[in-house]
Amino acid sequence: MGSLGAILKHPDDLYPLLKLKMAARHAEKQIPSEPHWAFCYSMLHRVSRSFALVIQQLGTELRNAVCIFYLILRALDTVEDDTSIPTEVKVPILIAFHRHIYDRNWHFSCGTKDYKVLMDQFHVVSTAFLELGKGYQEAIEDITKRMGAGMAKFICKEVETIDDYDEYCHYVAGLVGLGLSKLFNASESEDLASDSLSNSTGLFLQKTNIIRDYLEDINEIPKSRMFWPREIWSKYVNKLEDLKYEENSVEAVQCLNEMVTNSLIHVDDCLKYMSALPEPAIFRFCAIPQVMAIGTLAMCYNNINVFRGVVKMRRGLTAQVIHRTKTMADVYGAFFDFSCMLKSKV
Ligand code: D61
Ligand code: MG
């Protein structure tokens, strides 16, 4: 169905979608004039439109830091995700990445499409990074170092237990939560949130991604990628890939439901974390991804399509979440609504 068809079928979506489009256009026009910053923000736009939109409201200094933090970790993740790079090449790059960000001459080409552009022009990101305040630079360096080391560890190791799963998610997303708290704190607008709560916000988002992306990850060429913990899937099938075959549909959905239930453990912490953010712009920046995650989990629960293609929130629903998430009361409302949807499927 084309986008006009989608709008006509769901007329409620028309208004938020239009607003979203206008906001995106406005954000695009705000791209700064210095060429390296212009590149960084247009890159951000290309890889994640909704993210670029939500960071607009942050103050300039913090926004610049968050933009660079994102691009650096996205570049690191591009190295991690590229299954065509041999392990002996990949591991040293991941481990030394926090030093490469200071080196305008460092270069490593990998990834595809927008991610390839990001890697090829990485020196531009370095240039912008070096203009950030020392406090921001150190927080970004620290997280990049720990994430790179964690990714390297899991290149050579399978996610066996639920503890491994939490550990992997800590490296790739929990640490983003910790780093963001440090950036918010460095911008002097927030008290430093506890590491454990910051970690949970990342785990909740990453686990949602891992659940939703099952098929994409298992079908990855030349080598599939597996993040679902053996401790969970081995109760249902002999090999993780067996979940995608039609004859295992019943087991697949049961396993999926256990995965969703596992990620719901973090909801309490996430709500606690968000309720302690007094700055409205920072609050929205943190709350929107969390609401999207609970919405995605509600859609995935009991849904065989996770094993057949991509399960995504409709664009109109995404637009609504972006425009209706302003206060903690909105967040509680959204979590309540999506929890009811989940409950009806249990
Ligand atoms: C508040 C607001 C945003 C938050 C947060 C708290 C806590 C954690 C996060 C965002 C991170 C959430 C990551 C969830 C999505 N997962 C991925 O993108 C996977 O890659 C993980 C490593 C790279 C992380 C890059 C990143 C992401 C979001 C950020 C950020 C940096 C910096 C600032 C703000 C948000 C996933 O990516 C591939 C894919 O999904 O296509 C993967 O490789 O598993
Ligand atoms: Mg990755």
Please write the tens of the pLDDT for every residue from 245-295: 999 999 999 999 999 999 999 999 999 999 999 899 999 999 999 999 999
Average pLDDT over residues 123-128: 98
Give the span between the Cα atoms of 317 and 303, in whole angstroms.
18
Q: Can you give the pTM of this predicted structure? A: 0.93
pLDDT, residue 232, reads 98
Ligand 1 atom closest to Cα of residue 81 = 43
Give the span between the Cα atoms of 236 and 249, in whole angstroms.
10
Planar angle of CA 15, 21, 328, nearest 5 degrees = 65
Ligand 1 atom closest to Cα of residue 206 = 14
On the question of pLDDT at 1 being above 70, the answer is no
Note if 285 is an active site residue.
yes
pLDDT band at 60 (very low <50, low <70, confident <90, very high): very high
Tens of pLDDT along 290-346? 999 999 999 999 999 999 998 988 888 998 999 999 999 999 999 999 999 999 999
Catalytic residue among 63, 74, 212, 284: 212
Tens of pLDDT along 63-120? 999 999 999 999 999 999 999 999 999 999 999 999 999 999 999 999 999 999 999 9
pLDDT, residue 12, reads 55
Catalytic residue among 225, 230, 315, 324: 225
Tens of pLDDT along 168-212? 999 999 999 999 999 999 997 788 889 999 999 999 999 999 999
pLDDT, residue 31, reads 77
pLDDT, residue 10, reads 54
| CA-based R_g, the chain, Å | 20
Note if 154 is an active site residue.
no
pLDDT, residue 59, reads 93
pLDDT band at 14 (very low <50, low <70, confident <90, very high): low
Does the Cβ of 37 fall within 6 Å of ligand 1? Answer: no
Find the helix packing angle between 328-345 and 315-324, rounded to 10°: 140
- Give every CB contact of residue 138 below 8 A, 6+ residues apart in sequence: none
Average pLDDT over residues 156-163: 96
Helix (H) or strand (E) segment spanning residue 165: helix 162-169
pLDDT, residue 13, reads 59
CA nearest neighbour of 50 among 308, 323, 271: 323
Question: Of the ligands numbered here, which is closest to the C-alpha atom of 83?
Answer: 2
Gap from CA of 286 to ligand 1 centroid (Å): 12
Higher pLDDT, 7 or 242: 242
SS3 245: coil
pLDDT, residue 8, reads 47
CA nearest neighbour of 20 among 248, 300, 317: 317
pLDDT, residue 19, reads 80
Give the span between the Cα atoms of 86 and 88, in whole angstroms.
6
Give the span between the Cα atoms of 216 and 309, in whole angstroms.
8
Q: Where are the domains of the chain?
A: 1-30+221-346
On the question of pLDDT at 159 being above 50, the answer is yes
To test the ligand 1 pocket, which listed residue (159, 205, 275) has its Cβ within 8 A of the most ligand atoms?
205
Gap from CA of 186 to ligand 2 centroid (Å): 27
Architecture of the 1-30+221-346 domain: Orthogonal Bundle (1.10)
Catalytic residue among 136, 165, 168, 236: 168
To test the ligand 1 pocket, which listed residue (176, 203, 227, 285) has its Cβ within 8 A of the most ligand atoms?
176
Give the span between the Cα atoms of 181 and 202, in whole angstroms.
11
Lowest mean pLDDT, pick from 135-149, 178-192, 224-238: 178-192
Average pLDDT over residues 44-48: 92
Chain centre distance of CA 114: 16
Does the Cβ of 74 fall within 6 Å of ligand 1? Answer: yes
Gap from CA of 271 to ligand 1 centroid (Å): 18
